[in-house]
Structure 1
Amino acid sequence: MKLSVFTVVTPELTPEELVLAARRAGLDGVEWRFREIPAEAAGEAPSFWRHNKCSIDPSLPEEAWLRFKDITEAQGLEVVSVTPYLNSLDLEETERAFRAARLLGADMIRVGAAAYDGSRPYPDLYEATVRYLKEAETMAKHYGVKGVVETHHNTIAPSAGLTHRLVSHCSPDHIGVLFDPGNMVHEGYENFKMGLELLGPYLAHVHIKNAAWVPASPRGDGTSGWRSDWAPLAQGFVDFRLLLADLKSVGYDGYLGIEDFSGQYASGDLLAAYAQFIRERMEI
């Protein structure tokens, strides 16, 4: 298995600083965040989801995207993916991401699954997402780039089982799954090995982060409340020794992408600490 970084977690680094830090940490690839910085966020401190300097702006001319391919490959790294936010199921935005991935030589993009907040029935969202994924599959064939659906809380794909239900309408050659056990701590937990066995050929990528449930403020009726929150890799619910063993048991040999939101480390330190953390556990 190889190591990568999803640049959402390095918001204060420029792209050039990121690829240098990734090479020094011994990583193998980069997953480029594909999202513009909102105009009103430009004066804010760097942050994961708003003022993220380590992102490709989709509105730039396509020739400007090539900078990210050039600086990545100049450090001996692979462009693993172009990673947009497509839960609105927008096909025009999806095709733009496929074009960017082909231009940069990436193997995959993250495609969407409908968000779920209870305002629309699951069956309606399921049908809309399946229609979208079939269109995305056609694009994937055309561009030669796989689309992956991430297991993610607050969507209709929070678990391996529900994600498999969506992608099973498509060929695993073109539509796969980004397995994210850290997200599944918040919502969608299943036995990881069972989920990986279910996904089979659809398993295309893995994200590495951790989370935990902690006591929340007592409710008005005196009962206890709980909330989920991000946690450092070594301190959350996910046992990474076990996860790595489970991945090996199903023959996974792809990328493990760091997406740590705990804030334990500054970006440059995070990559080196991540590489050491995972490689120590790979040896056990």
Structure 2
Amino acid sequence: MKLSVFTVATPDMTPQELVKAASVAGIEGIEWRYKGIPDEARADTPSFWGRNLASIDPAGTKDNILDIRNLTVQAGLTSIALVPYLSVTDLASTEQAFETAHVLGASMMRVGVPSYNRAENYHDLYKQADAYLSEVQEMSRTYGVKALVETHHGTIAPSASLAYRLVSRFDPGHVGVLYDPGNMVHEGFENYRMGLELLGPYLAHVHVKNAVWAKKEGLSGGIGSAESEYECNWSPLLGGVVKWSQVLRDLVSVDYKGYLGIEDFSQSLPSEEMLKHFSHHMKALLNEIWAEV
């Protein structure tokens, strides 16, 4: 397994700073966030989803994309993925993102999945997603970039099994799953090994982060209360619900050889130190596991 970083987690770094820090940390792949900075956030302090300096702007030119591609290559790294924020109703933006991923030289790209908030029936949302992925699969063939469905809370694919249901009728060479155990702390937890075995050839990428459930202060929810007494928050990589030593062992058990991509939202370490911490601990855990085999 190799290591990568999703640049949403390093908002205070420019692309130049990010590729240098990743290289120093021993990280080999970059997953580029594909999102512009909102006008109202341009003077703000860098943040994950606001003024993120390590993003590719969809409004940029082909030369801008090639600059990022060349910058990454010159650092001895690989742009493994483009990570946009897409809707299943917007095929035009999806195709634009595929074209960008192709120019960037990325082999994978996250695609849209409907949100689930009780406003629409799951079966209707599933039909929308299935029709969308039919078009996405053809785009994947055209541009040579694999589409990824991410296991993500608040969507119709929060777990490995529901993500598998979405992708299972498609070609795993073109449509796969981005497996995210940290998201599955919020919603969608299943036994890691069982989920990975179910995904089989659809397992295409893994994101690495952690989260923890905690009791809300000053809230005492009783029977009939609309609000839970507990909330799920991001935590340091090794300090949350996800036991990464177990996840890695389960990934080894299914012969996973892809990337592990850091997406730490805990803000427990500065970006540069967070990358080093991730690299050091993932490599130490993997070495320990391989020594047991």
Cα distance per residue 1:141-168 (max 9 Å; x no partner)? 0111100000000000000000000001
Q: Which runs of 5+ in 2 are unaligned?
A: 289-293
2:253 corresponding residue in structure 1: 249
Report what 2:287 is aligned to.
Answer: 283
The structure-2 alpha-carbon separation of the partners of 1:124 and 1:268, relative to structure 1 and needing over 3 Å to count, comes to: same
- Cα RMSD between the aligned structures? 1.2
% same residue: 51
Render the CA deviation track for 1:21-78: whole Å, top value 9, x for unaligned: 0000011110000000011110111000011010000111122211110110011000
Change (3 A) 1:77 1:128: same
Match of 1:158 in 2: 158
Unaligned runs of 5+ in 1: none
Which residue pairs with 1:77 in the alignment?
A: 77
Classify the secondary structure of the residue corresponding to 1:283. Answer: helix
Q: What does 1:178-189 correspond to in 2, within 5 Å?
A: 178-189=178-189
SS in 1 for 2:176: strand
Q: What secondary structure, in the 3-state scheme, does the structure 1 residue paired with 2:214 have? A: strand
CA distance, structure 2, for counterparts of residue 77 and residue 220 of structure 1: 50
Q: Judge conservation of contact 1:89–1:114 (CA < 8 Å) in 2.
A: no
Alignment partner of 2:274 out of 262, 270, 273:
270
Kindly state the Cα deviation for residue 220 of structure 1 after the two structures are TM-superposed: 4.7
Structure 2 letter corresponding to 1:138: E
Task: Indicate yes or no: 2:106 matched with 1:106.
Answer: yes
Aligned to 2:220: 219
After TM superposition, list the pairs within 5 Å mapping 1:135-146 onto structure 2. Answer: 135-146=135-146
CA distance in 1, matches of 2:102, 2:90: 19
What is the match of residue 232 of structure 1? 236
The answer as to whether partners of 1:146 and 1:174 remain within 8 angstroms in 2 is yes
What's the CA shift for 1:88? Answer: 4.6
Which residue of structure 1 aligns with residue 168 of structure 2?
Answer: 168
Question: What is the alpha-carbon distance in structure 2 between the residues aligned to residue 77 and residue 221 of structure 1?
Answer: 53
1:225 to partner: Cα distance: 1.1
Q: Which residue of 2 aligns with 1:8?
A: 8
How far apart in 2 are the matches of 1:68 and 1:127?
36
Q: Which residue of 2 aligns with 1:203?
A: 203
For these two proteins, the number of residue pairs brought into alignment is 284
- The alignment's TM-score, normalised by the length of structure 2, stands at 0.95
2:93 — aligned with what? 93
Deviation at 1:176, TM superposition (A): 0.1
Letter in 2 for 1:32: W
